Amino acid sequence: MTALIVDGERLVRRLKELGSLGVDKDGRLTRLAATDADKLGRDLFVRWAKEAGLVVFIDRIGNIFAVYETSENAGAAPVMMGSHIDTVIDAGIFDGCYGVLAGLGVIEAVKSAGIHLPRPLVAAAFANEEGVRFTPDMMGSLVYVGGMDVEEALQAVSIDGKLLGRELERIGYAGKLNPGFLTPEAYVELHIEQGPILESLGMQIGVVENLQGISWQRITIDGVANHAGTTPMDLRRDAGYAAAKVMNFVHDLALNHRTEMVGTVGSIHFEPNAINVIPSRATLTVDLRSPREERLLVAETALADEIISISNALGVTVRSETLARTQPVEFCDEIVDRIERAAELRGFKCVRMTSGAGHDAQMMARLCPTAMIFVPSARGISHNPDEYTPDGDLINGAQVLLEVVTDLASEH
């Protein structure tokens, strides 16, 4: 197997070509799900897959599957690779696209080497992973594994007021196949880390053994707007100060459990938001993540308790709503071991790690044995045009994917 080599130069070239499609009028790479820009990206992937001699299937939610099946392995459960090619607004060129195009490259390497594997190979591009235009995110894979009804998903309304089902028809990607039509033997997703850990540790490959659970809350604090100059400190009911207390608490809570928790207040809004008025209302979001469900539950409870004491101490009312909640996902030990072994055999410096972000792999893990491979992201930057992974790292990751997948597909 070690003779098989992925075509790294082609992979890098394709990433750039795909990344050149869907640039908006402000010069930002923006291929939101089921837009004309998304269609451009999809058409290119489909063209490359067909040029490689693969059969392309589209399911009802718009997931694309490029399948390499031979007469010898037809009907066997395939090994699936994949990710997504939709993007956020003002995106980088690597997020998602890397896993999809590396999957295609792996299949091409196997096919052109004339190797006969006991299992078919699939490179999948899942629909609407980013969730920017239609919620929820990871929709294509969620629907694929049966976590959301396809009819319901097709009724999703975009931020620009369009129905997903109609938009998929419009761009020509409303397929006939029912999501879940293929049950893979295994699913392996290659992705940029989107975080700084590999780079800061000087590692080349991240062996992703689990994925954090995510708890998103919106916290709304109601106080009393009063004149900033005439209201003594003791008589204030300052929603802004209460928000600062929550922000401190979230930060310290995560810092105290830093090896297995992160916590972020990423957005805030004050009303009336005037320099000389005590805020009557502060709205902020809390993003808590942990690879351990128990830790996440404890943190949520601690935050709820803190909210009550802040509310009592400051005379404000505080309410919180859950915006999203996913449980941590444990990936398949056996695949994780294979990834580590493949990386080590190639002499790549690798480390076992947790995925901090959500990925289609977390959905696919419900359906079949699954794991992920990460490569470094420069400065951890993602969802940004500065997103960057050196070519060498991209090629290393694709090579590990190739070896793990051919390994998995060699067994029956």
Region of 22 please: left (phi>0), alpha (psi -120 to 50) or beta: left
Question: Hey, CA dihedral for 212, 332, 119, 176, is it positive or negative?
Answer: negative
Beta strands in 229-328 (DSSP E): 262-264, 268-271, 281-290, 317-326
* Residue 268 found at the interface with a copy of itself (CB under 8 A): yes
* Residue 313 found at the interface with a copy of itself (CB under 8 A): no
Q: Which stretch binds a copy of itself (CB under 8 A): 11-19, 154-162, 174-182, 252-260?
A: 252-260
188: DSSP letter: E
Region of 78 please: left (phi>0), alpha (psi -120 to 50) or beta: beta
* Residue 234 found at the interface with a copy of itself (CB under 8 A): yes
Question: Which burial class, exposed, middle or buried, applies to 330 when counting CB atoms under 10 A from its CB (0-12, 13-18, 19+)?
Answer: middle
* Residue 189 found at the interface with a copy of itself (CB under 8 A): no
- Of 59, 209, 238, 306, the residue at the interface with a copy of itself (CB under 8 A) is 238
Task: Determine the Cα–Cα distance for residues 398 and 342; give it in Å rounded to an integer.
Answer: 11
Q: Which stretch binds a copy of itself (CB under 8 A): 76-84, 179-187, 269-277, 342-350?
A: 269-277
Q: Which stretch binds a copy of itself (CB under 8 A): 17-25, 34-42, 173-181, 271-279?
A: 271-279
Question: Hey, CA dihedral for 26, 28, 29, 32, is it positive or negative?
Answer: negative
Residue 356 identity (one-letter amino acid): G
Q: How far is the CB of 25 from a copy of itself (least distance, A)?
A: 20
Residue 343 identity (one-letter amino acid): A
* Residue 196 found at the interface with a copy of itself (CB under 8 A): yes
Query: How many secondary structure helices (H) and strands (E) does the chain include?
Result: 12, 14
- Of 287, 306, 360, 407, the residue at the interface with a copy of itself (CB under 8 A) is 287
- Of 115, 150, 177, 277, the residue at the interface with a copy of itself (CB under 8 A) is 277
Q: How far is the CB of 179 from a copy of itself (least distance, A)?
A: 26
- Of 245, 281, 295, 338, the residue at the interface with a copy of itself (CB under 8 A) is 245
* Residue 289 found at the interface with a copy of itself (CB under 8 A): yes
Q: Which two tokens stand for residue 26?
A: 């402000």
Residue whose CB is less far from a copy of itself, 325 or 412:
325
Q: Which stretch binds a copy of itself (CB under 8 A): 59-67, 113-121, 212-220, 338-346?
A: 212-220
CA-wise closest residue to 85 among 42, 34, 145: 42
CA distances from 167 to 24, 86, 164, 407 (A): 18, 14, 5, 39
* Residue 84 found at the interface with a copy of itself (CB under 8 A): no
Cβ–Cβ < 8 Å for 409, 117: yes
Chain centroid to Cα 316, Å, comes to 36
- Of 63, 204, 362, 382, the residue at the interface with a copy of itself (CB under 8 A) is 382
Q: How far is the CB of 272 from a copy of itself (least distance, A)?
A: 8
- Of 109, 205, 225, 373, the residue at the interface with a copy of itself (CB under 8 A) is 225
Q: Which stretch binds a copy of itself (CB under 8 A): 30-38, 66-74, 195-203, 402-410?
A: 195-203
Binders of a copy of itself in range 337-356 (CB under 8 A): 355-356
Q: Which residues contact 182 (CB under 8 A, 6 or more apart)?
A: 57, 65, 67, 77, 78, 80, 122
- Of 12, 357, 365, 375, the residue at the interface with a copy of itself (CB under 8 A) is 357
Q: Which residues are at the interface with a copy of itself (CB under 8 A)?
A: 193-197, 200, 212, 214, 216, 224-235, 238, 240-241, 243-245, 247-248, 251, 254-255, 258, 261-270, 273-279, 285, 287, 289, 323, 355-358, 379-384
